[in-house]
Every structure is written in structure tokens, then in C-alpha cells.
Amino acid sequence: MCGRYTLTVSLEEMMLRFMIGHTSVPYHRPQYNVAPGQLVLAIVNDGEQNRLGELKWGLVPPWADDPKIGSKMLNARAESAADKPAFREAVRRKRCLVPADSFYEWKTRQDGTKQPMRIVMRDRQPFAMAGLYETWVAADGSKLSTCTVLTTSPNELMEPIHNRMPVLLRPEDESLWLDRKVNDPARLQHLFTPFDESLMEAYPVSAAVGSVRNDFAELIEPIEA
């Protein structure tokens, strides 16, 4: 699963990298430990330009009786999302990018304990995780906009660390993922291939990242494993 990530680049860098239109944008500060249930930055395309907004991490389907179901919808398996009632419509019509510049995963040591690892691009540039979003309407008419991150099988870098990894989109594929005119899931299947491991690296970081209360720059510093 993908359960923690970072987004430490500036808002200006993000807008340039993801070609975000100059509309109103949310406040952003460097985030070193983004966690489920939080409001996260996400990018959608409105048919004319990319737009940046906030979604709560943990997708709540429109038909849900209780929004607490979102805590179980942090990730969606890319291989089967188009067939699952919770994600079926979103795969066809409500796709987003979740920008990040690393994600964390926990590697099991020989003694059974776990070592948190930070996974980054070798060039340290931000990237896009493939996401889905939905809007849930409460009985009083209030709306809750939420998202989930798609996962796929691991590449060679990730395989010793975890049996899943987020779907990371190549920059040249991001526009297809956001294209609202594309509603045939078959046209998107090739995007779910594990990302090229030669462009990535992983290193151990402090166990302090395990607490969602911690959000400071030292979390991303490499340590001796």
C-alpha cells in the first residue's frame, strides 16, 4: 500500500512542473509526512487547464452511508479498480494526480522489525501518483471531496521493500490520465506498469516518520540502517 509520502517543493515549483493554471490555489508549505485522513493537494483538469485543489485522503463513494468508510479506501489496486463498485465510476470520469517528491514504505528486517525507507527519484524531482476522486453528499447537503492512490506490483527496487507500490505516471502520460474525454479503462491499462526502477532510489530514514504527529525536515534525512 501507499500510506505516507512527502511534498517538500514550493508551490511555484509545483505549478510549473504540473502546468497548473493561474487560478486560486490552496496554501502550501513543505510536508514531510503526509498521512491518510489529511487534506492533500491534488490536480485535476477542467477541460481547459490543470487545477490544483485539496482532497481528503481516503475515498468515500457517493453511495456510502458513512464517510468513515474512507479510512479503508486509501488505496485502490490498479488491476481491479475499474471493476470495483467503489472505484468504477471514478476510473472512468474522476481521475487526478497526487503530486509528491517521495513516498515512504517499511522494509522488514531479518529480526522481524521494520525499517522505514524513503523512495525518491534519482534527480529528486517531483512526480505524480495516479489518483481517483469522488464527492460524497451528506444528508444536510454538505459535501466531502476525497481521493485514493492507485497501487500496482513492485518494480525491482521496491520488491525487497514491499509487495505493492503507487502507480507513478511518466510526465508524458499525465495528460492522458487527466483527460476527461477518455472514459474507457482499457485505454489506461498500460499506465499501470511499475515505474522504471533505474530512475529511482531508496534509503533508510528515522523511525520518527512512523508517527503522524511528526512533520519536520529531519524525517527525510538518510540514516545508517
105 included as an active-site residue: yes
pLDDT band (50, 70, 90) for residue 2 = confident
Report residue 209's pLDDT band, with 50, 70 and 90 as the boundaries.
Answer: very high
- How sure is the predictor about 24, in pLDDT bands with cuts at 50, 70 and 90? confident
pLDDT single digits (tens) 28-60: 999 999 999 999 999 999 988 999 999 999 999
Residues 6+ apart with CB under 8 A from 219: 6, 32, 33, 205, 206, 208, 209
23: CB partners within 8 A, 6+ apart: 49, 51
Share of residues in the chain with pLDDT > 70 (%): 100
Residue 224 — pLDDT band, cuts 50, 70, 90?
A: confident
- Tell whether the model's pLDDT for residue 25 goes beyond 90: no
User: What is the C-alpha to C-alpha distance for residues 180 and 48, in angstroms, rounded to an integer?
Assistant: 10
- Reported as a single tens digit per residue, the pLDDT across 46-95 is 988 999 999 999 999 999 999 999 999 999 999 999 999 999 999 999 99
Residues 208-216 have a mean pLDDT of: 97
Q: Is 224 marked active-site?
A: no
- The residue from 105, 134, 147, 174 that is catalytic is 105
pTM value is 0.96
The answer to whether 60 touches 70, Cβ cutoff 8 Å, is yes
Cα angle vertex 214, ends 211, 218, to 5°?
A: 120
Do the strands 75-77 and 143-152 form a parallel or antiparallel pair, or are they unpaired?
parallel
Q: Which of 2, 134, 147, 174 is catalytic?
A: 2
